[in-house]
Structure 1
Amino acid sequence: MAKVKAIRGMNDILPEQTPVWQYLENTVKAVLSEYGYNEVRMPIVEQTELFKRSIGEVTDIVEKEMYTFEDRNGESLTLRPEGTASCVRLGEEHGLLFNQTQRLWYTGPMFRYEKPQKGRYRQFHQIGVETFGMASADIDAEVIMLSARLWKKLGLLDAVTLQLNSLGSNEARAEYRAALVEYLEARKDQLDEDSLRRLESNPLRILDSKDSSTQALLDDAPVLSDYLDDDSRAHFSDLREMLDAAGVKYEINPRLVRGLDYYCKTVFEWVTDKLGAQGTVCAGGRYDGLVKQLGGRPTPAVGFAMGVERLILLLETLDVIPEGVRQPFDLYLAAEHKGLQNQVISLAEHLRDAVPGLRVRVHCAGLKNIGAKARQTGAPLIALVKQADEGLVATLWQGEEPRFDIAQADLDTVIKAVWNA
């Protein structure tokens, strides 16, 4: 009988990989805590209507990429393709949004049916940050500065570039959309196949086309900044002043539009040239109309999402994962002789109590070649327990050489000193 395998594009995360995931997640949590953000957790399945109304029915995500199915009651459900709409639904359903300010974050898997490739998967993981109830540019600046602080802590700041743009109000964007369509309609014969399709459904997405001939055609196209309303211009100017004052470097990218219908005013991306085609590691912006679009009262909002797989790929590519992150334990504890396993297990419990935070793995697989097996684990500390005339004694190893013999009564004191050093 053939073995059942994982679905293509939905990957297992193995024991040697999870420590890096935990390192990234813990670093993100620490930074978010410094800024006073609160975690929320949403279900991975939502009503399909939520994403049709938020993302837009004539987008690639809704038309081609969502995992949608009917449950036993005939209700259309969808595995979430992104987190913002779910977070808005959560906030509105539980009364967290109207006349309130919220700083929220979440993490978990998202699902899109795409051709799997390096850095792009059908089940992928995101960490999202969403803020509500704050209309001024200072909260835009805060979420960008928050992400910049994260890159600094991860050792990625020199490998990523912040790109900024303003989409203006819905009215200004609609006026620009009409001008862009008029320009491109007159040159339809020069557009690539994908841009021709987008011309009917989502023409702003043509601005980030990867086709070189289309990009050349856009050199003379109308520019979004020429259509911005006064309020959006002032908002964008305030944001740039705050980033300048904080020393956050950025580039203005007039073709940056983001792929979802609900964005307005500020949009931004952190991009890298270290990962080939999949160069965006974090993206977001302002979406002041989405809460109303989903049935709530008008509520200003801004946020971003970062791709966990791409960030881990970047950490590994740049080799900036701290030494010791992949080490799952600090001390390997084993008995050298038969009849000592009860004492060894009790000793392990004692050490966990005596040295808070110490990660102890007890050898439980027989006594053949115990010393060699212990060293093969790569444990930074190894304690081999044996029976001596004066009672239980542990030989402490650090690296490939034995350090010294220690009486059981003194083992916790010695390990604490070595571990802290």
Structure 2
Amino acid sequence: MSTSYEATAEWAQARDAADPLRDFRNEFLIPPHGHSESHYFCGNSLGLQPRASREAVNAELDYWGELGVEGHFKGRLPWMDYHEFVRDHLAEIVGAQPDEVVAMNTLGVNLHLMMVSFYRPTPDRHAILVEAGAFPTDRYAVESQIRYHGFSPTLSLIELEGDEPNGTISMGAIERVLAEHGSRIALVLLPGVQYRTGQAFDLKTITELAHKQGCQVGFDLAHAVGNLPLQLHDSGMDFAIWCSYKYLNGGPGAVGGAFIHARHARTALPRFAGWWGHDKATRFQMGPEFVPTPGADGWQLSNPPILSLAPLRVSLEIFHRAGIQRLREKSLQLTGYLQWLVETQLSDVLEVVTPKEPQRRGAQLSIRVLGGRAQGRALFEYLMDNGIIGDWREPDVIRISPVPLYNRFADCLAFAQAVRRWKRG
């Protein structure tokens, strides 16, 4: 981490001017605040709109109007194959083979579909391991799956408590719980980045540890995709799921995504079958027997949502041009600066909860407001009123996520200056 930071506008402006990725900001619509732009730090919750998204959606609306049903086969990007037009860039951004990924459904739906295939409990091996305080999507889904299979969450849900300050989880804690309970764990389901603390996990090491115990392994990458460089294929994990409206800028309620490792491409794993998962070569023969398309496409249920895929296609093209490694380098610089500002300028007001080690975090810093919930809410509302857009997590945490595609060092400084003004009253 650099030690030459300065809490001055001149320093921040100079760094922004020298940023090789600075022009990508111009490809996004920055929400206004008064007569200027807001300082938007909420890409971990909803990414900003690429300017080209409107044109992409309007193009499909035009094809619909001009071609009707023929839009499935005609036009620049025929709808029949539309999900394939995001495949290569999606595989690139998650470190997978193209046939291992598919854009479909939403995160919660995809999680249930994956558990149909990868959570196969037996009387001796029926537990699911999650982190304590898992996002409700994961918690509700695993509890309902456990009950569906006739087991009780009281016995079959193992919640891994944080063993580090601020509730983060060490690799040692993961090793210990797997050594103790691995023989009865059917599925390990952990996040790529924990939504509350911002902790990033070592996916490959966790997968190796869990597989040694005979567990299936899946990850919820909602806060990791488009945030961290990922190597899903090389990690060996069985599956992963994610949403696309956060760092991937796919828009509110955007189509989600799934990864299924290539070793499962032609297996006879049980699954919930749907027409669009049928082998593409014979799909329109409408035969009675389901023959899955090899790879992740075989888990599709329905035809692709064109108007939802169009903005995602635009955003993934931006990621392709920017490069996830270059974005990660800038992200480390931004979070390093933000952490330095908190620790050197605001330590009497704020405390960073997210791990300090750069390799254990992404773009998000979870920042605890000292003094309790009332103080925290007061500061959060002050920031929002002054165009500093983050988000709040009970009981006392503000999440601030400088996204390298469109955030600047000047944004980080503006956050610190606003906190100082609030502190002075």
The two structures share one fold, judged by TM-score above 0.5: no
TM (norm. structure 1) is 0.28
Q: Which has the higher contact order (CA 8 A, sep 6+)?
A: 2
Max Rg structure: 1
With structure 2 as the length reference, what TM-score do the two structures score?
0.28
